[in-house]
Amino acid sequence: MLIVRGLVKRFQAHPHGALFAGVDLAVSAGECVAIVGESGVGKSTLLNCLAGLEPVDGGSIRLEGRELAGLDDDAFARLRRMRYGFIFQAFHILPHLTLVQNVALAMWLQGSAEGEAQARARRMLERVGLGARCEDWPRHLSGGELQRVAIARALVHRPALVLADEPTGNLDPERAAGVLDLLLENVREAGAAGLLVTHSASAAQRADRILRLDSTGLHARPPAR
Amino acid sequence: MKAVLRHVFLGSLRRRPLGTLLSLLAVALGVALGLAVHLIHDAALDEFSRGLRLLSGEADLQILGPRGGFDDALYVELLGRAEVAEASPVLEVQARLPGREATLRVLGVDVFRLPAVQPGLLPLADEGGGALAALAPQRIFLSAAAANALGVRAGDELVVQSGVAEHALIVSGALPAAGHGQQLAVMDIAAAQQLFGRMGLLTRIDLRLAQGVGAEQARRVLAGMLPPGLSVLTPDAALGQAAGLSRAYRVNLGMLAAIALLTGGFLVFSTQLLSVVRRRQTFAFLRALGLERRSLRAALLAEGAVLGLLGGLGGVLLGHVLTALAFRLIGADLGAGYFDGVQPSLQFKPWLVLGYAMLGVAAGLAGSWVPARDAAMLQPAQALRAASDDAGLAVRPRWWATLCCLLGAAVLCTAPPLGGVPVAGYAAIACLLAAGVLALPGATGIAARVLALRASPVWRLARARLGGAPGQTVVAGAAVVASVALASSMAIMVSSFRLSLDDWLSRMLPADLYLQASSSGASGYLDADVPARVAALPGVAAVEPIRAEQLRLSDARPPVTLLARAIRQAGDLPLVEGRIDGMAGQDLPPAWISEAVADLFALRSGDELELPLQGRAYRFRVAGIWRDYARQHGAVALDLAQYRALTGDLRTNDLAISLRAGADPAAVTRALHQALGERTIRVAGAGEIRALSLRIFDRSFLVTYLMEAVAVAIGLFGIATSFAALASARRREFGMLRHLGLTRGEIGRLLALEGALAAAVGVAVGLLAGAAVAWVLVEVVNRQSFHWSMDMSLPVGGLAVFAGALVGLAALAARLAGAHAMRQSAVRAVREDW
């Protein structure tokens, strides 16, 4: 699903000149990979590069067999709306949209008919356990519930790749485990490739594989289950 | 607390320079317009009053007659009264100056009487003029302002017109006490009577009362002995009457400026509310640290007060600049024609300046009141964990409050004027504007529901935001509602007025050509033989003489105009009530009164009316009420034949000339000039007069248009500042949308569409409020101020273009205002997460 070869990201202020170099990565459909590493090593930057939100200085990114490295800004934006799903640490649920509208947002961006967008959004909210609260406003939800809405939004349009950066960073450990299980379960069921950046060892252990990022690239680390 | 106030609150004004600058500008413009209107009219009125005081001098009472004059035998009679110590007769004539547009106010005076009663009018003969120069029949003495305006000096010849004859006078000296603001001339009264064909007539007698005689007691006694059509007034009352002439116009302009200031207040509200929303977490933090609610509210009010004070001070400066420009470019009456011959100068009035600066503070405080209250109500714990800056923009529909304002407006519309000023009408307009702003949240919800769904994600996002965050529309649209309501109501009123005026002119000017020796108030007139001479000219089919005179119907009101013309059939007058034909067999001769006379003297069709004609009182029956846009203080129309039969006055002011089929108007005009004089008559086609009248009409609304433009600009500022602040507050949202696949261009379009939708709701509500305000302006304010009725007319095309342009500009303003926020990298926008 996702194949990354020799990815380089230079950063002039960095002591080594490059934030990371020679990053190789392959993630299959239905597989969830956790990326760990020290603070400042470039985990989030790697996700940004994979999403086309930051330019890369070398290497190749192929998603579903298509080379992405040379795409311009707008082309990447159109690709993101069709094939990417995002989950943020601070949820970023729009307060002026109802829950079902927040989830349907990803379908709207694809130009889906309103009926279809609403129906799919409702189904996704049911899957994350919020089916009864479709018309609620985000201000009435807890942090864990908001992240479940974000998971529904990330998956409603059946993306090929789901990128999640510290998705449980704002949640207490008990809620974090539940939300993470929900995320991984849905990514796997959707047949998407999932990349999860986290500082939390317990969160990383729930993934299928764990990779550690340093300036020389990604290195395998067996899950300690 | 002082440090917190300086750094956290007042410092915030510096940290959002665009919003602060635009708020300052909006308040400054409102204050400047109000102050300029005030200063201009104060200066004009001061100079006008100075002129009246100069004329009345030491007089305790004034006997005032119509412009046509009264018998000077009264003067002799008054001199014999025990109450009267001194009397000074005056014949005042507005002399036409052949070949010039301007007229000259000439006072015929008895120089021997001046020292005791009106010393300010004493002429100073030029060197070599001799002590008795003022008594010489062809001598005239000019004030410095008049000499300057006419470009003449002592010894020069000045030609004046009487009837259609020209008379040369010698400028023989000056009026030293007249100062530089008064354009007038003085000559011997006997010479003036003879020169202007007013033998044995006076227009005024100024009286000094005997010692121990009270003015009011003497006024009552003397009023009983005056012939009909004369008033006896104290100089102060005469001054008050003169000042009252322009009061309605001044109040109207003042109200327009107040609405501009109100719009500025809305802009302060928008920027302050947005700034409070953006600082919710800061306030919550400060509250958590121990800042009391009261202190938080006071600090935010202080922000508004500082904004208002700076705006007010800027406005005061700008107001003085505008006043100086207006004196230079438009004149003291702002194009309305109330203060002809007056040349005021700019004066600094500290109390007025302070008052207007404080109005700026009031606008700043009023605009900050709701945001400060909302901030003080904040629950710190909730605000600290608020998901977004939008949380502070939730608003509920306020239909009940809207309805209450509408009902209040309806009730106020039924109230009578106060002292001739439609105070309740203006209050009704304020209620309607408040109703418009209160209706915004509900209207936004309705708009979100009725807007069609479209596939475009940008459209869907904008539509969802309209329904989900109506507070944004309220914040951005409040100033738009006020400014659109003002602009559209003025546009509807002016369009209604213009169309009604055009129709009125067509009906009042049925002939092909109009001839006059001067305006009816000036010294030109046509003798009894002129109509027959004109009728005999080749190409002339018919001639209708028109006589205009002045009548004093009451001591308490300015004189009304008497219009004597052929009135025989329906259509001869633009009636709004009553009829013209079928008056035969009535007990009294018919008179038709203008709407102003009907309103001011509480008369209706069928009522009896007494008119003083040539010193005698005649009774008439009011046969109808007609629309008259030319004479604000009222007019009475009589059939010319009837008027002549009663008075024997055969003079004419205007001739309406109908041409034979195929006759060349230019040839007839040439023949008229040959017969009556090149410089002493004016001939104009009906179309020409109509076009000139409409030009004057448009000029008199020039200031109104300027104020409208300012109000609309302030409304657009509102959109721009609101969206700049909102876009800045929504950077994380835009970052998230970029992650989800929206391009930069699409986010730009989203902002533009949101701006357009917010403006469209504001414009729609503003147009509805504007239509209601226009109705109040036409039916209440204009009726009570100027006593003019008009037919309502909606300039649909113009309003549609205006609304479309405003929505387009708002979209552009929102797009440009959000450019900075859009430029930021999507990654940086959400960097606290990644």
Whole-number percent of chain B with pLDDT over 90: 31
Question: For chain B, what percent of residues have pLDDT higher than 70?
Answer: 90
Residues B339-364: tens digit of each pLDDT: 555 566 777 888 889 998 998 898 88
Q: Do B741 and A79 touch (CB under 8 A)?
A: yes
Are B629 and B718 contained in the same domain? no
Residues in B lying within 8 Å of A, measured between beta carbons? 387-388, 390-391, 453, 455-457, 460-461, 464-465, 467-469, 732-733, 736, 738-746, 825-827, 830, 832-834
Instruction: Indicate the residue among B355, B386, B417 that finishes a domain.
Output: B386
* Whether residues B378 and B445 fall in one domain: no
- Choose, out of A94, A107, A149, A163, the residue to mutate when testing the contact with B (most B CBs < 10 Å): A94
Instruction: Decide if A106 is inside a domain.
Output: no
- Closest residue in chain A to residue B460, using alpha carbons only: A108
d(CA A9, CA A146): 33
* Res B405: pLDDT: 95
From B453, B468, B739, residue closest to A114, measured CB to CB = B453
Q: For residue range B29-88, what is the model confidence (pLDDT) as tens digits?
A: 888 888 888 888 788 777 777 777 777 778 899 999 988 899 999 999 998 888 899 999
**In-domain check, residue A59:** yes
Euclidean distance between CA atoms B548 and B636, whole angstroms: 10
Does pLDDT of A152 surpass 50? yes
Instruction: For residue B69, tell me if it sits in a domain.
Output: yes
Given this model, what pLDDT does residue A186 score? 84
**DSSP conformation class of B189:** H
Residue B172, SS3 per DSSP: strand
- Is A69 inside a domain boundary? yes
Q: What is the mean pLDDT of residues B113-117?
A: 88
**What pLDDT sits at residue A225?**
45
- Residue B593: its H or E element: strand B590-594
Range(s) of the domain holding residue A51 = 2-89+141-221
Contacts made by residues B99-102, CB under 8 angstroms, sequence distance 24+: B99/B159, B99/B679, B100/B150, B102/B149, B102/B150
Residue A27 lies in a domain: yes
The answer to whether position A124 is within a domain reads: no
Angle, alpha carbons B710-B715-B716 (nearest 5°): 100
CA-based angle B100:B106:B112, to the nearest 5? 155
> Is A89–B741 a contact, with Cβ atoms under 8 angstroms apart?
no
Position A54 in a domain: yes
Q: Which of B313, B257, B40 is nearest to B706 (CA)?
A: B257
Minimum CA–CA partner of A97 in chain B: B468
Tally Cβ neighbours within 10 Å of residue A66.
Answer: 11
In a domain, A208, yes or no: yes
Specify the number of domains making up chain A: 1
Nearest CB neighbour to B387, from listed A47, A95, A114? A95
Whether B319 and B346 share a structural domain: yes
Question: Does any domain span residue A76?
Answer: yes
Strand B157-162 and strand B165-174: the pairing is antiparallel
> Could you give the CA distance from residue B496 to residue B503 in angstroms, rounded to a whole number?
11
Contacts with B802 (C-beta within 8 Å, 6 or more apart), sequence order: B487, B488, B491
Same domain, B646 and B734: no
Q: Is residue B276 part of a domain?
A: no
Contact B827 A54 (CB under 8 A): yes
* Residue B514 pLDDT: 93
Summary count for chain B: helices (H), strands (E): 30, 22
Residue B266 maps to a domain: no
Tell me, yes or no, whether B529 and B662 share the same domain. Answer: yes
Tell me: pLDDT of B713 over 90. no
Which residue, among A92, A112, A157, A213, would best test binding to B if mutated, counting the most B CBs under 10 Å from its CB? A92
Q: Do A81 and B739 touch (CB under 8 A)?
A: no
Higher pLDDT, B194 or B326: B194
B263 assigned to some structural domain: no
Residue B275 counted as domain residue: no
Contact by Cβ (8 Å): A87, A167: yes
Q: Which of B680, B698, B713 is the last residue of a domain?
A: B680
Q: Flag whether B201 is in a domain.
A: yes
pLDDT in tens, B571-594: 888 999 888 875 556 788 999 999
Q: Tell me the CA distances in angstroms from B575 to A96, B452, B561, B623, one per residue in order.
A: 59, 50, 17, 10
Place of tokens 């300057």: B148
Indicate if B210 and B314 belong to the same structural domain. Answer: no
Give me the number of domains chain B comprises. 4
What pLDDT, on the 0 to 100 scale, is given for residue B388? 47
Same domain for B114 and B176? yes
Give pLDDT, residue B15.
73
Final residue in a domain of this structure, among B358, B386, B414? B386
Residue B685 inside a domain? The answer is no
The pLDDT tens digits of the residues spanning A196-220 come to 998 888 888 889 999 998 878 888 7
Indicate if B223 and B315 belong to the same structural domain.
no
What is the CATH number for A183?
A: 3.40.50.300
Residue B760 lies in a domain: yes
Q: Are B429 and B769 in contact (CB under 8 A)?
A: no
Distance CA B54, CA B119 (A): 8
Say how far apart CA B67 and CA B556 lie, in whole Å. 17
Report the range of poorest mean pLDDT among A130-134, B233-237, B374-378, B703-707: B703-707
Q: Please indicate, yes or no, whether residues B428 and B551 belong to a single structural domain of this protein.
A: no
Q: Do B387 and A91 touch (CB under 8 A)?
A: yes
> Are residues B672 and B727 located together in one domain of the fold?
no
Q: Which domain holds residue B400?
A: 387-510+690-834
CB pairs under 8 A between A and B: 108
Q: B77 and B101 share a domain?
A: yes
DSSP code for A49: H
Q: Whole-number mean pLDDT of chain A?
A: 86
Q: Which residue from B390, B733, B739 is facing A86, i.e. has the nearest CB?
A: B739
The pLDDT, as a whole number, for residue A223 is 47
Record the pTM: 0.76
Are the beta carbons of B832 and A79 separated by less than 8 Å? no
Q: Between these two residues, A195 and B129, which has the higher pLDDT value? A: A195
Residue B52 CB partners (closer than 8 Å, separation 6+): B235, B238, B239, B242
Burial class (CB in 10 A: 0-12, 13-18, 19+), B607: middle
